[in-house]
Amino acid sequence: MLVTQEFNIKIDGYYPILNDMHLEYGPGVHIIMGPNGVGKSTFAHALMGSPTLESSGAVELNGKDLLAMDTYERARAGLFVSFQNPTPIEGLSNFQFMRQALNSRQSTVKLGDSLSKFKELANELGLSDTWDKKQLNVEASGGEKKKNELIQLDMLDPQVAILDEPDSGLDIDAIKVLIQKLNDFSQQEGKVLIIISHYAQLITSLDPDTVTVFNKDGYAKQYDNTDIAYDILENGFDG
């Protein structure tokens, strides 16, 4: 369960981005929508503890004060955030990154087992046999970067996952795999899946429990009736 109360986000200490957010995300699937530039990605980064953002108010993850935690503590507490455009890191292989992330979560999975699972997931997603050895997101397409994050989601197995446009850069076949992976994740007991997306097929296939709409004034409203999502897809935000 992720709950925000009077949650405010500023950048550079004074410029307000999002204001007075009262949102509640329980087990299931939740969609975040809004025009470009209204702070959807900023919301996700603030929850994960980005040092460039100043947050105030209250955010609880399973009753614990999320804002009092450092970023690594938020990850250990079960929060996962993907990026709209994942950063490439030279000199660090895809699997080394994954293994270090597992170690930071104090995983007891053996090295050989984690490598086997990594390779299995990479194969399911249509990535190369040597994907584990390639540098993290270096010279990778947008779709490959998104597939990398799906591997991370599966292996880290967080309780609350916030995915920023996970469909970006994926072809039709990869979208089908994405939807299956997300359905598999969200159907596990207690899992919370929050997705930033305007992609109609993804939204309809996941059948979300709530839709949160961000507006240009820096506010957000959460709807239990997901008809709002279909209205937006048909008529746009102004409509």
pLDDT of residue 170: 87
pLDDT at 111: 78
User: Which listed CATH number (3.40.50.300, 3.40.50.620, 3.40.47.10, 3.40.50.720) goes with 2-235?
Assistant: 3.40.50.300
Provide mean pLDDT across the span 144-171.
93
The whole-angstrom separation of Cα 203 and Cα 194 is 11
Residue where the block lists tokens 């455009």: 85
Q: What is the pTM of this model?
A: 0.93
Closest to 154 in 3D by CA, of 131, 188, 126: 188
Per-residue confidence at 129, pLDDT binned at 50, 70, 90? very high
**58, burial (CB in 10 Å: exposed 0-12, middle 13-18, buried 19+):** middle
More confident residue, 13 or 7: 7
Q: For residues 41 and 59, give the distance between their C-alpha atoms in angstroms, rounded to a whole number.
A: 17
Q: Domain residues of the chain, as ranges?
A: 2-235
Question: Would you say residue 15 has pLDDT above 90?
Answer: no
